Amino acid sequence: MRPALQLKLGTQLSLTPQLKQAIKLLTLNNLELSAELSQIAEMNPVLELDDAPDDADYDAHEDAEREMRLHDSVDELGKSNAADAPQSEPISSDDYEDSESPVQPSGDDAGADLDVEPDSADMRDWGDGVDGKSKQDSDDREDSYHDDATGTLADHLRAQLDLLPFSWRETAIAHVLIDAAEDDGFIREPVDFQRAALAPELIVSAKELETVRHRLTWLDPVGVLCRSLIECLSVQLQSIKHPRRTLALDLVALGPEALARIDREKAARQFEVELCELSEALALVRTLDPRPGARFNTRRIEYIVPDVRVQKQGGKWVVKLNREALPRVRINGSYAALLGKCKQVDEQFLKTQIADAKQLLKSLAQREDSVLRVAQAIVKEQERYFEHGLEYLKPLILRDIAEQVELHESTVSRITTRKYMHTPRGLLEFKHFFSSGVATRDGGEASATAIQEMIRRLVETEDAEKPMSDSVLGEILKARGVMVARRTVAKYREALGIPSSTDRVRR
């Protein structure tokens, strides 16, 4: 055992910078690719980005012709001298634009007015202090409150707090309570937490703090800063003038779980009311907002831009790349004029930047071609879904598409991740069309997504008083030729967020 030097000869696969760039571009969706191109253009002075032109301005080109144009233009650009360089046309990502690619179809074919009505004269004075006008004016401004609320829930509440006839002590308590509110408007921290936040500068009792909080629950949106769902709904009901308000308050007091499983006939006898009156009260409860602060949630909204568009033209499903979201990438031909006229170091720098730009355009062309081919293959496989709906979604795996487009499964996986397709049936992710299959009676397969859609439609059309159990749903599916067990039905039902048959009973 002693250290020694050894010489070995071997081969291994390594990723070149060009291949790494091509793989990276392949995984990006349109929004991410646009940002990536902007960043690359800032680092490479040879590249130019223009606004994306309309699809109507594009000419159709075959792949071979585009490749020849690419190499011819690049060679011409590299060989041009100072005299003829300005006349050379810039290389653009337009050279890679594809034409429409048709896919042959298979041939298979409560309106109660809101009115705040505080329970005491003190609360009525508070209401007048907030509005400064009549209650009718407050009602007229209710929608504008919601439309103009561009800030957070805390900002919206503090704007109203400045108009209340609060003492400095009550104002300090109110600010602590507003800070304790969560995104949905509820306060779930114990009272001692708010008292500790005020100490030692201000020592308040639990009763004093709750008194201020109760007055704040009447702010817009009504029911905010409550500690429980029952309190939130009760405050909203107290602000409503409705003949069934008292009965609705009694129903809310039962609790959300009991209210969800309520037996209407039994409840009507319990409260000594007619069944129609109970139904009106329940309808009133359903108009309430269980999360009054959620509308002010200022979380960042992520927009989705489709990578391809699918539409039916002349009886054929046509797939187009969505170029509107991407800038036009071109090589500035003016830099070729500097070749041969600048120092050797500068000339080498320009040659390197032009070579990088050529590789980028090549990678973009390869990305467009791969995305389009995969999208075409998916649409071709799922034509019946586009024609008839979700129940006709065909079981599909990545290997099926990879074999059709002659790409590796990993490449297809990169292409179908976080890329979207704008279709007549909505904006759908490529992954939406891939699902496992369940055997059918005739020896075929039905996709799990299609079975879930069948279950959802069966539940929507069932008798509300006698909902179907998982076993009954399984028997109906078997009668339609889909062989599924009760456990599978239960799993799909839970995935759809549908309660069990016991919880769906409405009487």
Q: What is the pLDDT of residues 127-147, one digit of tens each?
A: 333 333 333 444 444 444 444
3-state helix/strand/coil string of 78-103: HHCCCCCHHHCCCCEHHHHCCCCEEE
Tell me, what's the pLDDT at 170? 92
Q: What is the pLDDT of residues 327-360, one digit of tens each?
A: 888 888 777 677 667 777 777 888 888 888 889 9
- The mean pLDDT value for 8-14 works out to 81
pLDDT at 73 over 60: no
Alpha-helical (H) ranges within 219-343 are 229-238, 245-253, 256-260, 264-271, 275-286
Q: How far is CA 223 from the centre of its chain?
A: 28
The token duo for 186 is: 């509820």
Hey, what domains does the chain have and what are their CATH numbers? 17-105+304-423 (no CATH), 121-296 (no CATH), 435-495 (1.10.10.60)
Which are the contacts of 127, defined by CB distance < 8 A and separation ≥ 6? 116, 118, 135, 138, 218
* Dist. CA 375–CA 89, nearest whole Å: 32
CA atoms within 13 A on the CB side of 320: 19
* Dist. CA 488–CA 490, nearest whole Å: 5
Q: What is the reported pTM?
A: 0.57
Reported confidence tier of residue 301, pLDDT bands at 50, 70, 90: low
Reported confidence tier of residue 100, pLDDT bands at 50, 70, 90: very low
Which SS3 state, helix, strand or coil, does residue 200 take? coil
- The total of other beta-carbon atoms located within 10 Å of residue 308's CB is 23
- The mean pLDDT value for 419-446 works out to 81
Which SS3 state, helix, strand or coil, does residue 444 take? coil
Tell me, what's the pLDDT at 98? 41
